[in-house]
Amino acid sequence: MELKIRKNGDVYIIDVTGEMDLYNSYKLKELVVKMLEKNVKNFVINLEQVDYIDSSGIGALIYICSTIKKMNLKLAISNIHGSVKKVIELTKLMGYFPIANSVEEALLMVKE
Amino acid sequence: MDSVTFSSRFFYSHNTQIGDFYKLDSIDAFTNLPLLITAGLGVLLFLFLLIIKLRNTVKSSFVFYLVSGVVVAGALYSYLTEYLIYFIFSVIIAEVLMLPYLILKAFDNPQKREEKKAAKKLAEQTAAIEENEVTKAAIAAVEAKHQRLLEVNKDLVSKVSTFFSRDNSMESFLEYCNKLISERVGADGCVILLADDYDNTLAVKSLTGSFPPPYKLPEDLPHKPLRVETNLRFAQFPFTNNIFGEIFSAKEPVFIPDSVKDPRIFQNGPEEFLKCGGYIFAPIKQQDTVVGLVALSRLPTKAKFTKDDFETAIILADAISTSIKPLYSFLDYAEHTELNKDGNIATKYQKDLIPQKLPVIPNISIGCFSNAMENVCGDYYDVLVSRKDRISFVMADVAGKGMNSLVVMIMIRAILRLAVNTAQSASTILSWTNRGICIESAKIDHFASVALINYNSTTNEAQIATCGNNPVFLYSATEKNFKQISLASEPMGVEKDTQFHDINVKLNSGDIIVTCTDGLLESLNENGVQYAVESLSKVVMRNSQQNAKDISARVKDDLKRYCGSTQQYDDQSILVIKIQ
Amino acid sequence: MLQDLKELRSDENDPLFDKTNMLKKEFPSDFRQIRYFTLLIVQSAPTEIKELNILEQQISEVIKNAVKHGNHCDINKKVTVWYSFSSTHAHIIVQDEGEGFQELEKWNDFNRKRLECLHNNDFIELSNYVSFKTKESDSQDGGNALFAALEYWNGGFVYNGKRNAVAMLKKYQQKFHGANRDGE
């Protein structure tokens, strides 16, 4: 799994590539924690290049989502598709996660 | 009246004065009889008229009946009352009755009558024709509609094939249909939904224009046009408990020209752009199954949808239904081919990776076979002669299937072929190979079982390293036993720093080294029992005097006999090396 | 039928534990090889099965539970998997050598509350029920695998009496749009 960061105004977009499974999901968690320590306030996690996620990956997203909510910061998760979307639907978390259909929509959501 | 009175009366009248004869109010004997005769004849005339009427020989008018009846009546009455005047009056009446009839007949113009008849007939006919015209017009209108439908159908069917070669052909085709139907019906917005193949949901596939959502928006969705539109664009609806699902399940088109009082429409608010106007829903069918739904909207500020619009929409939805079938068939076929293509290409290349001919090496014989199953990535084995003190035997099994596994197999083969030329031990060679494939990006599955046997012909020793499930067995000619000498170990590709272990054995003449893949040992017979080491061991021991080629042939036969026609799920490969 | 899927059951005699005509593999309880074991199982599934990715992921979750929570990653303990596939079904049984899923009832209670929050669209309360953790769970555990499993295995998901083995069945639908039904 690879993680890349880019900026759009004061919104940080994390582009995830590869698989978010039980061996590497912790990396995303760690990255977000680091960014929070650096006072990043607006996050977009772009899962366009992710084609596999398991319960650990979902767990990482849950952790990130709840931490950011607690700190009253902004988060949007964009471009979920295929089996990633399916797994989130199976866990019935579509309403729980702030999901956007595109990075553009995610940016709109976060900037509100 | 007795005969005396009668005859006296009769004769008596003869004796009256001639003048009495002219007395109009009395009858004399002379006229008695004639009166009776008149009556009698009248009745006869009446009878004949009846017969004429019955047999319909001549057209006889009603007047004749009346006349004869009147005359008969007058005559009889006169006879009975003995007053001639009644008869006279009846004749007068009769004549009067005859007059109009005869006048008419006198001045009758048969031609005119014919013309009048003809004119009446013509009028009737014209009226009939006009009625016909109206029906014809109605028929023509329906025919025109059908013609349009045929045109649209033809259009769409020929158009659909142009979408075959595009990516996202279904979405693009539905986009085209969406625009077409919006335009024809004059809708402000149009949504096309298709039922998902494997879930029970209806998913929006195409959305154009303004379509105020007729369903309750999620609580947390801000009521902004872009957000609402995006929500609809990616929405999925179950088959129950929402307007789309219910109409879909009911399978009938629905016309809602005005949603204000309609309980089916949920009015979101309070924003203007959310106000619902009119809606038309038309199902898309495949034979008898509904596979999707077209929904059209008119904003409340515009003119309402008409019945005509509704019918046009139904016709067009039908046209879409017809033309979508070839697209579905094509997509199914393409997917099926695609799924198998991958595997077929991989299999083709894998066949080229294994040696076509085994090298001839002095003092040892080699035998092998490999039964490839469809659908699984093949086994890879190799015999690499580097130098006198290094002849390497490889038996590898890549996990997974298709192109993915082919790529991993090629990598392993390349690294091994290079590394065996060095002086490194078998375990080191395996670690290098392992590191090589672990470092490759995590996008592909990269697990493999590999058994590597480095044989030193000068010292008659073998150095064996394994990873994964491919066991190495040794038949000892001196001890006459067959046992596994390899150790269980994790496969290649799990962690890049995994350490592997060497096992060194001294070989004597008649010893046999056997390595195979787990697919062979796990082969099933019809009772679901695995072939297992025991069966293999029996065959090798029984044929231990043969050369390797024959031994492997015996194993092949035994395996075939054991499995019969039971379906196998993995490749079966074996490599036999015998020290002569 | 849908109602029983919302709850974990324990039934020694469930027909899903019938192992006739199923293939079998055994694995050591090595955490690092979980995805490898899964791949070995799934590679015999026919290519027609849609969303093989999801099937693979769901199987890996069950194997992970067996390795991590059942056998505590003890390399000497085995995980046994029985499996059978066709284009219309996937049937799996996973057994470990552990003491069994002790908190099964607690899990059912937790899930019930979770479903209530979903039913009421109460996303604030839901955040307390998105992840089921026991004292044995660590930060790597998502705590959500079983929620998905109950939804995914539409033919049944049941534990044995001891709760150290679980059997599951996935039934695949024929394609909806009937293009394949012409033969009927």
Angle at CA of residue A101, ends B238 and B193, nearest 5°:
35
Looking at residue B455, its pLDDT comes to 93
Please write down the long-range contacts of B24-28, taking CB distance under 8 Å and 24 or more positions apart: B24/B84, B24/B85, B24/B88, B25/B83, B25/B84, B25/B85, B26/B82, B26/B83, B26/B84, B27/B78, B27/B79, B27/B82, B27/B83, B27/B84
Mean pLDDT of C80-108: 92
Interface subset of A 10-69, CB within 8 angstroms of C = 21-23, 25-26, 51-60, 62, 66, 69
- CB of A101 within 8 Å of any CB in chain C? no
- Could you give the CA distance from residue C91 to residue C93 in angstroms, rounded to a whole number? 7
Residue range B243-247: mean pLDDT, rounded: 91
Residue of B nearest to A1 (CA): B442
Which tokens sit at A60? 């990482």
Give percent above pLDDT 90 in chain B: 29
Please report the pLDDT score of residue B76 as a whole number: 84
How far does B340 lie from chain A, in Å, by closest CA? 20
pLDDT of B23 > 50? The answer is: no
Judged by CB atoms closer than 8 Å, whether chains meet at B197 and C50 is answered as yes
Can you tell me the distance from the alpha carbon of B339 to that of B335, in angstroms, rounded to the nearest whole number?
A: 6
C31: confidence class by pLDDT, cuts 50, 70, 90: very high
Question: What local confidence, expressed as pLDDT, does residue B362 receive?
Answer: 87
- Measure Cα distances from B485 to B159, B176, B230, B464 in Å: 67, 67, 63, 9
The Cα angle at residue B560 between residues B554 and B566, in degrees rounded to 5: 165
Model confidence at C183: pLDDT above 70:
no
Region C163-169: mean pLDDT is 94
Please state, rounded to an integer, the average pLDDT across all residues of chain C: 86
N residues, chain B: 580
Instruction: With cut-offs at 50, 70 and 90, classify the pLDDT of residue B58.
Output: low
Q: Which has the minimum average pLDDT: B31-40, B52-61, B543-552?
A: B52-61
d(CA A61, CA C144): 11
Q: B360 near B194, Cβ under 8 Å?
A: no
Which pLDDT score, from 0 to 100, does residue B322 have?
A: 84
Ordered structural domains, chain A, with CATH: 2-111 (3.30.750.24)
Q: What is the DSSP letter of C67?
A: I
Count the neighbouring beta carbons within 10 Å of the beta carbon of residue B48.
13
Say if CB A12 and CB A40 are below 8 A apart.
yes
The answer to whether B467 touches B449, Cβ cutoff 8 Å, is yes
The band of B89, judged by pLDDT with boundaries at 50, 70 and 90, is: confident
Other CB atoms within 10 A of residue B323 CB: 22
* Res C181: pLDDT: 41
Q: Is residue C135 within 8 angstroms of chain B, CB to CB? A: no
Look at residue B10 and tell me whether its pLDDT is greater than 60. Answer: no
Within 10 A of B324 (CB to CB), how many other CB atoms are there?
25
Q: Which helix (H) or strand (E) holds B370?
A: strand B364-371
What average pLDDT score do residues B395-423 get? 88
The CA distance from B542 to B482, in Å, is 11
CA distance B202 to B192: 10
Best of C47, C89, C123, C180 to substitute, by most chain B Cβ atoms within 10 angstroms, is: C47
Written as six digits, the tokens of B117 are 């008849």
**pLDDT value at residue B564:** 87
Select from C57, C118, C140 the Cβ nearest to the Cβ of A26.
C140
- Is the pLDDT assigned to residue B216 strictly greater than 50? yes
Distance between CA C62 and CA C58 in Å, rounded?
7
Buried b (16+ CB within 10 A) or exposed e, A1-33: bebeeeeeeebbbbbbbbbbbbbbbbebbebbe
Touching C: B residues 330-389, CB under 8 Å: 332, 336, 339-340, 343, 375-377
Most C-contacting residue of B174, B196, B197 (CB-CB within 10 A), to test interface: B197
The mean pLDDT of B158-186, rounded to a whole number, is: 85
Confidence class for position B198, pLDDT limits 50, 70, 90: low
Query: Domains, chain B, ranges and CATH?
Result: 3-106 (no CATH), 160-333 (3.30.450.40), 354-579 (3.60.40.10)
pLDDT at residue B2 greater than cutoff 70: no
**Distance of alpha carbon C141 from alpha carbon C120, whole angstroms:** 27
Inform me whether the C-beta atom of residue B490 falls under 8 Å from chain C C-beta atoms.
Answer: yes
Q: What stretch of H or E contains B576?
A: strand B572-579
Say yes or no to pLDDT of B200 above 90. Answer: no
CA–CA distance, C84 with A80 (Å, rounded to integer) = 31
Average pLDDT over residues B427-433: 93
What is the DSSP secondary structure assignment for residue C163, as one 8-state letter? S
- Amino acid at position C94, single letter: V
Token code pair at residue B513: 């080294």
Q: What is the mean pLDDT of residues B432-450?
A: 81
Size of interface A-C (CB pairs under 8 A): 80
**B345 touches B403 (CB < 8 A):** yes
B101-149 per-position pLDDT tens digit: 888 877 777 777 788 888 888 888 888 888 888 888 888 888 887 787 7
Determine the residue among C57, C64, C68 to mutate to test chain A binding: the one whose Cβ has the most chain A Cβ atoms within 10 Å.
Answer: C57
Inspect the interface and report whether the beta carbons of B198 and C172 lie closer than 8 Å: yes
Average pLDDT over residues C24-44: 90
Give the start-to-end residue ranges of the domains of chain C. 3-102+138-174
SS3 B306: coil
With CA atoms as reference, report the closest residue to C123 among B221, A101, A73. B221
pLDDT above 50 for B572: yes
Written in H, E and C, the secondary structure of B125-171 is HHHHHHHHHHHHHHHHHHHHHHHHHHHHHHHHHHHHHHHCCCCCHHH
- Are the beta carbons of C176 and B196 closer than 8 angstroms? yes
Look up tokens 């064996």; give the residue. B464
Q: How many CB atoms lie within 10 A of CB C184?
A: 6
Answer yes or no: is pLDDT of B561 > 50.
yes
How much is the mean pLDDT over chain B?
A: 84
Whether the CB of B570 is below 8 Å from some CB of chain C: the reply is yes
First to last CA, chain A: 31
C171 Cβ under 8 Å from any chain B Cβ: no
3-state secondary structure of C43: coil
Ranking B439-443, B494-498, C34-38, C75-79 by mean pLDDT, the lowest is B439-443
Instruction: Inform me whether the pLDDT recorded for C184 exceeds 70.
Output: no
Range list of β-strands (E), chain A: 2-8, 11-20, 42-53, 74-78, 99-100
The CATH homologous superfamily for domain C3-102+138-174 is Histidine kinase-like ATPase, C-terminal domain (3.30.565.10)
CA torsion B548→B553→B554→B560, rounded to 10°? 150
Q: Over the Cα atoms of chain A, what is R_g?
A: 13
CA C65 to chain centre: 9
pLDDT in tens, chain A (112 residues): 889 999 999 999 999 998 999 988 999 999 999 999 999 999 999 999 998 999 999 999 999 999 998 999 999 999 998 889 889 988 888 888 888 888 988 998 888 7
| Residue B215 in tokens | 């369903």
Half-sphere exposure of residue B193: CA atoms within 13 angstroms, side-chain side: 29
Mean pLDDT of B285-303: 89
| Bond before B218 cis per omega within 30 degrees | no
**pLDDT above 70 coverage of chain B, percent:** 91
More confident residue, B468 or B568: B468
List of E strands, B161-288: 189-195, 201-209, 236-238, 254-256, 278-286
Amino acid C174: pLDDT: 66
pLDDT the model gives residue C178: 52
CA distance B240 to C64: 36
Residue C48 predicted with pLDDT over 60: yes
* Cβ B427 vs Cβ B499: under 8 Å: yes
pLDDT at B25 over 60: no
